[in-house]
Amino acid sequence: MPGDPDLPPPVAGLAGLLDGFVADGRLAPARRPLRHPPGPRADQLVAGGFSTLWVDLPGQRTLYANQLGGVRVACPACGRPLAREFGRAVERWRTGGDGAVTCPACGLQRPVTALPLRPPGAFARVALVLADVT
């Protein structure tokens, strides 16, 4: 999971990492820039394999999570669902606001980056994305 979503993406470092994965067989050579099929040793990256690994550079803070079925967020103090409040806070944060979520039930306030998500997720400006993990 990324640590600080405001750090600039280290694209050159990621390219070097991917080149290393190609050299040791975890990835096959890129089909397109920063987009790789699995290599013969792909199971060393992900047990079971995957169809493609790519570097995602969305240009803004993005929530990365397995979003099939949606992401759930609840107040860590009282358990109240906070999906609506979370969504509003994320939009404020993306446009320069504070991104604080306040629980209407108990008043607890947390930044969007500090709330537990189900399934786990995190915000970042760059990510290594694995497609079709088996």
Give the start-to-end residue ranges of the domains of the chain: 1-59+123-134, 72-118
Cα–Cα distance measured from residue 134 to residue 46, given in angstroms and rounded to the nearest whole number: 9
* Length of the chain (residues): 134
Cα–Cα distance measured from residue 64 to residue 84, given in angstroms and rounded to the nearest whole number: 18
pLDDT digits (tens, 9 = 90+) for 39-52: 999 999 999 889 99
pLDDT score of 4 more than 80: no
pLDDT of residue 53: 94
pLDDT digits (tens, 9 = 90+) for 68-112: 778 899 999 999 999 999 999 999 998 889 899 999 999 999 999
**Cβ pair 79, 32 in contact under 8 A:** no
Strands 62-65 and 100-102 come out as unpaired
Residue 132: C-alpha distances to residues 5, 23, 57, 82, 88 (Å): 25, 23, 19, 29, 30
Cα–Cα distance measured from residue 15 to residue 71, given in angstroms and rounded to the nearest whole number: 30
Tell me the whole-structure pTM to 2 decimals.
0.71
Give the type of residue at 95: T
Looking up tokens 């405001």, which residue turns up?
6
78 contact partners, CB below 8 Å, separation of at least 6? 103, 105, 106, 108
pLDDT of residue 5: 55
